[in-house]
Structure 1
Amino acid sequence: QKQLADALNLSQQIVSNIERNTTAADVDFLHGAADLYKISLDELIGRKMLITEESSYEQQILNVVETMDDTKKELSLRLLNEVAQQRGDKDGE
């Protein structure tokens, strides 16, 4: 709690109250916590997205990319842009 409170410039008591559900978290707190933990707001609050076929493909791609080092990510981005340009789906930006 202290580390979170310090990182978000809040008192430890406020963080404790939020964790115990005696105080509602405001938007600034939620944004700060999501940024701190490097997750989306949906992930922070446990929201599950409706999985569509399209979003399933996107999620699979993201899952693979998360395991790559920066060199492989850069190469993958170049390859995706090449494929998109050949199909005319995207301008490569």
Structure 2
Amino acid sequence: MNIGKRLARQRKKHGYTQKQLAAELNLSQQIISNIERDLSAPDIGFLKGAADLYKMTIDELVGRENTYETKDSIEKQILDVVKEMDGYGKELSLGLLNQVAEHRKNKKDTKK
């Protein structure tokens, strides 16, 4: 998928019109339209502003996959599931992971 279509999809997913997004980023609606139609490329200021507004990384915004290789397929599966969660689900998951890590740490400490 080209960058313009991806950015338009993210804008719509987050409930913004082109005019609203332009106002949030202090740009003209024409600039947003040109980017989404691939008539111009987004600059780093646009990407940073949109990513901040949508509470995501620039990599996520433009659809860049993680380039690192994970040795453990379980880790990859966890990351794939977390990617699909909303903020609340991510917070709950983080709390659960912290509890599991703390439990394992306490278990190790009692064995010493």
In the superposition, the TM-score normalised over structure 1's length comes to 0.65
Q: Following TM superposition, where does structure 1 have runs of at least 4 consecutive aligned residues deviating by more than 4 angstroms?
A: 63-67, 72-75
The match for 1:21 among 13, 38, 44 is: 38
Note the aligned Cα RMSD (angstroms): 3.3
| Equivalent runs, 1:1-93 vs 2, <5 Å | 1-50=18-67, 52=70, 53=72, 55-56=75-76, 58-59=78-79, 62=82, 66=86, 68=89, 72=92, 75-76=95-96, 78-83=98-103, 85-86=105-106
Task: Provide the TM-score with structure 2 as the length reference.
Answer: 0.56
- Cα distance change on mapping 1:47 and 1:17 into 2, 3 Å: same
Shift of 1:80: 3.6
Query: What is the aligned length?
Result: 87
Distance 1:12 1:64, change over 3 A: closer
Q: Match for 2:47: what amino acid? A: L
Structure 1 gaps, min length 5 = 89-93
Runs of at least 5 residues in structure 2 that lack an aligned partner in the other structure: 1-17
Change (3 A) 1:46 1:63: closer
Residue 56 of structure 2 aligns to a residue whose secondary structure is coil
CA contact (8 A) 1:65 1:73 kept: no
Percent same amino acid at aligned positions? 41
Cα distance in 1, alignment partners of residues 94 and 50 from structure 2: 29
CA distance in 2, matches of 1:48, 1:74: 21
- Per-residue deviation, 1:60: 5.3
